[in-house]
Structure 1
Amino acid sequence: MSLQSRGSRKFRVGDEVYAWTIRPRPTDAQAAGLTRMTLAIQRIEPLSPAVLVVDLRVTRCDNDVRPHSTGVHPAMVREMLARALAEGWRPESGRGHRLEFGLIRDRP
């Protein structure tokens, strides 16, 4: 699996470059507030097929049931990656990894 380069944001950690993205539109379940928002991170230099999927523990801010504001900042994404690496995820292994990282809603 590979992230689309369109709409993704890049960041560097040492000699490696990663990209992260959040789906541009919610799935039906996310729009109904039934599932939580996720974020995907992948190492793109050197390229690795492994994708880190982060459960943000909040509904999408654009859900139809209870819209809210929630911000994801580059520093948070770096922390997510650091936690996954500390848990033992290795992008070069080619295996994906799931991580829970709780965001706080900015406003109800």
Structure 2
Amino acid sequence: MALNKKGSRRIAVDGIEYRWRIRRKPSYMQGLCWTPMTYAVEAANVDQPGTTLIVTSGQAHPSNWLGVETEPIRPAHVAASIREARSQGWDPMLAGAPFSLDRSAGFIPQP
């Protein structure tokens, strides 16, 4: 799966360029704050798309339908997620199924 270039942001972590993107519209479950927001990361500047990293954050999607306030995902959070995923075995250059990283500890779903 390749990320759409439109709407993605670039970040360099440990000398490697990545692109990351948050889905513009929340999924149904994210809109109701039942599940936390996710974002995707992939290596940039490669000919063949590799494994995509799917990060589950610990906060609600900013466009949720309940008006729950959230903090924006900052590049420092993305960089920390990339480093953690790399330490757990994610290789962004190899093709394969998406690699999931769950950083949602402390997320409390809305009733």
- 2:81 maps to what in 1? 80
Secondary structure of 2:77's aligned partner: helix
Unaligned ranges ≥5, structure 1? none
Counterpart of 2:13 in structure 1 is 13
Gaps of 5+ in 2: none
Q: Aligned residue for 2:3?
A: 3
The correspondence for 1:97, drawn from 85, 99, 105, is 99
Quick one: which amino acid aligns to residue 93 of structure 2? E
Q: Which has the higher strand share?
A: 1
Matches within 5 A, 1:20-99: 20-47=20-47, 48-95=49-96, 96-99=98-101
Q: Which moved more, 1:50-59 or 1:12-21?
A: 12-21
Instruction: Note the C-alpha offset of 1:14.
Output: 4.8
Post-superposition offset of 1:12 = 2.0
TM-score normalised by length of structure 1: 0.83
CA RMSD of aligned residues (A): 2.1
Q: How many residues align?
A: 105
Tell me, yes or no, if the aligned pair for 2:59 and 2:70 is still in contact at 8 Å.
no
Q: CA–CA distance in 2 between the matches of 1:59 and 1:14? A: 28
Cα distance in 1, alignment partners of residues 105 and 6 from structure 2: 24
Percent sequence identity is 26
Whether contact under 8 Å (2:10, 2:20) holds in the other structure is yes
1:58/1:103 contact within 8 Å kept: no
Q: Give the SS at the match of 1:78.
A: helix
What one-letter code is carried by the residue in structure 2 that aligns with 1:69? T
Equivalent-residue separation in structure 1 for 2:23 and 2:36 (angstroms): 12
Distance 2:106 2:10 in 1: 23
Q: Return closer, same or farther for 1:30/1:50 CA change in 2, 3 Å cut-off.
A: same
